[in-house]
Amino acid sequence: MSVRVQRDDFDVSREMDALLTGRKDIGGVVSFTGLVRDFSDDRNVGALTLEHYPGMTEKALAAIEAEAHERFDIQASLIVHRFGRMEPGERIVLVIAASAHRGEAFRAAEFLMDWLKTKAPFWKSEDTPDGPKWVESRATDDTATERWS
Amino acid sequence: MKLLYFAWIRERTGVHEETWPLPKGTATVQDLIARLAERGPGFAHAFADVKQIRAAVNQETAKLDAPVSDGDEVAFFPPMTGG
């Protein structure tokens, strides 16, 4: 179990290897990588800047990860979330969930992403043709969070 | 107490982090928001729509009726948009 908040990019396969090295009890591992896209709703966007709350962010991610271990039969997990400025195509977030059986790993990875969207203190600002705009929270993200309660 | 502001609340107040004495009669997050909104046009603008404000007390998400005291770290921010 671990979480990291960092400015730098990450390497998905290295992170997965590091998490699973020496493990013989894992039957399936699911990873999700979130990327910066170049459109949002009806407008084109350039770079994205992610602000966060140092201290609380790490605690919130660790609490979300702990909740995933309570709810699902997973044996290993990782959350890496970046902050700062990122261009379209760059990686923003990585979650990995590993379990003896694939179903739990799939569900845990989806749960981790749904919860961190609305419960980890990050705020996105997008560069648009009209200047930087704070991204508004989405009702669909709240619905995705609530379906696990 | 230590106060922190993030995203457009930080931009509107013009402050990221500050130390501020807890005003008398301020018992909850909601009371604190009311006091802060009186600090000038930037703060009034930042705290005009309480529905858009989320808070944390000592780095834990807190509701508007959560108690606050002078040693606390209280943060104000819009709904989170990570992931």
Tens-binned pLDDT, residue by residue, of chain A (149 aa): 899 999 999 999 999 999 999 999 999 999 999 999 988 776 788 899 999 999 999 999 999 999 999 999 999 999 999 999 999 999 999 999 999 999 999 999 999 999 999 999 999 999 988 899 999 988 888 888 888 88
In chain B, what residues touch A56 (CB-CB under 8 Å)? Answer: 56, 59-60, 75
In chain A, what residues touch B59 (CB-CB under 8 Å)? Answer: 53, 55-56, 59
Q: Which domains does chain B have, with CATH numbers?
A: 2-77 (3.10.20.30)
- By Cβ distance, the residue of A59, A81, A136 closest to B82 is A81
End-to-end CA gap in chain B: 31
SS3 A143: helix
Across the A:B interface, residue pairs with CB atoms under 8 Å apart total 70
Q: How far is B82 from chain A (nearest CA, A)?
A: 5
Residues 6+ apart with CB under 8 A from A57: A5, A81, A83, A120, A121, A122
CATH of domain A2-139: 3.90.1170.40
| ipTM of this complex | 0.95
Give residues 43 to 82 of B whose Cβ lies within 8 Å of A.
56, 59-61, 75, 77-82
Domain boundaries, chain A: 2-139
* Closest listed residue to residue A36, CA positions, set A44, A24, A48: A48
Query: Cα(A69)–Cα(A77) distance, rounded to whole angstroms?
Result: 9
